[in-house]
Amino acid sequence: MKKNIALLAGGYSGEYVISLKTALTIEQNLPTDIYAIYKIIITKEGWWHERQDGTKISVDKNDFSLNIDGVKILFKAAFIAMHGTPGEDGRLQGYLDMLDIPYTTCNTIVSALTFNKNNCNKVVKDAGIVGIANSILLFKDQPYSIGNILEQLKLPLFVKPNESGSSLGVSKVIKVEDLLPAIQKAFVEDDQVLIEEFIEGRELTIGVYNIDGILNALPPTEIILNNSVFFDYEAKYTPGTTKEITPAKLTDEINQQISNKAQYLYRYLNCRGVVRMDFILQKTTNKLYFLEVNTMPGQSENSIVPQQLRSAGISLKEFYGSLLEDTLKQNK
């Protein structure tokens, strides 16, 4: 008998469309002879499963079930394919925990921590194994001064929403007069804004996953910008704006360093499933600086984690199947 799996996509943020692409890749690479996949779209307006004829079946949130043709569908597990809130910030995980439904991502506490860039930076800094850029945090309901910011931090700066993904609302500020507009742009996406000093160097990112208690790091990727000032939303999702080299051309020493430190942070932060960690390899020192953890990294066909899996010789069907089976074991 097939196992009923809820594939959760959509969300409340500007990453809605990216989530649908992620869900499509996952759906196409899960074996249908083993699993009955029900894609469930979550929005502020409602939660529903859309049948092939276009009919929308609302989710009963009391027990996270569907009623299809008089048959009640309950789920063995949830495969979360949602970027941003509520699928990446821990809210959905908390709901599933209360219903005792296992899921493929980090738990509620870890998801909430890593989604908050400022708090995550503080925890990672305490680990003492990677650098953290100098930064300050602004709050929408509290006054701030451009002069005071520039007394504490040196240009260039990155201005970003404290809780957001896909580089939405992020700006690189080189000139003083561009700082205020950048802050205002970030406040459109979130009520907290993180301002960080720019670290010049190579941008590297690496997938890490744990299946059957075995921790693995994938081949790292280097992101090289063609025309963009930084790896923003347009650069991430517009073909030809960046070059992504997988595996990155690194010395054996640097390659081992990023692999070891990413795995250490995975354990230190108590991550689960597959995550992607972003770093800067500082140009002048070859020191690794931590950027962020993505606990629900993009999974569209050309996204970085699928690239790294192919580089490691792992098929998406094999990987998603193993990840889901490992999730199902959580309730045994």
Q: Is the pLDDT of residue 232 over 50?
A: no
Do residues 82 and 9 touch, judged by C-beta distance below 8 A?
yes
* Separation of alpha carbons 144 and 33, rounded Å: 57
Q: Is the pLDDT of residue 330 over 90?
A: no
Backbone angles phi, psi at 92, to 5 degrees: -65, -35
Q: Where are the domains of the chain?
A: 3-104, 112-130+200-295, 135-197
Q: Which string of DSSP letters, residue by residue, matches 68-89?
A: ETTEEE--SEEEE---STTTSS
Distance of alpha carbon 148 from its chain centroid, rounded? 32
Both structure tokens of 11: 């969300």
Q: Are strands 214-217 and 201-211 parallel, antiparallel or unpaired?
A: antiparallel
Model pLDDT for residues 180-204, shown as the tens digit of each residue: 999 999 999 899 999 999 999 999 9
* Span 233-255, average pLDDT: 78
* Span 105-127, average pLDDT: 96
| Predicted TM-score of the model (pTM) | 0.91
CATH class of the structural domain 3-104: alpha beta
Q: Is the pLDDT of residue 230 over 60?
A: no
Please report the beta strands in 102-199, taking only residues with DSSP state E, as ranges in sequence order.
135-139, 157-161, 171-173, 192-197
Q: Is the pLDDT of residue 150 over 80?
A: yes
Inter-CA distances, 286 with 159, 202, 250, 260, 294, Å = 24, 9, 11, 15, 23
Q: Which residues pair with 216 in a beta bridge?
A: 209
Question: DSSP label at 218?
Answer: P
Amino acid at 104: T
Give the orientation angle of helix 117-127 with respect to helix 252-268, to 10 degrees: 110
Model pLDDT for residues 288-322, shown as the tens digit of each residue: 999 999 999 999 888 999 999 999 999 999 999 99
CATH class of the structural domain 135-197: alpha beta
Q: pLDDT-based confidence at 132, cuts 50/70/90? A: very high
Q: pLDDT-based confidence at 287, cuts 50/70/90? A: very high
> Would you say how long the chain is, in residues?
332
Model pLDDT for residues 256-269, shown as the tens digit of each residue: 999 999 999 999 99
Among residues 200, 201, 194, the alpha carbon closest in space to that of 135 is found at: 194
Report pLDDT for 235. Answer: 47
What superfamily in CATH does domain 112-130+200-295 come from? ATP-grasp fold, B domain (3.30.470.20)
Question: How many Cα atoms within 13 Å fall on the side-chain side of residue 211?
Answer: 16
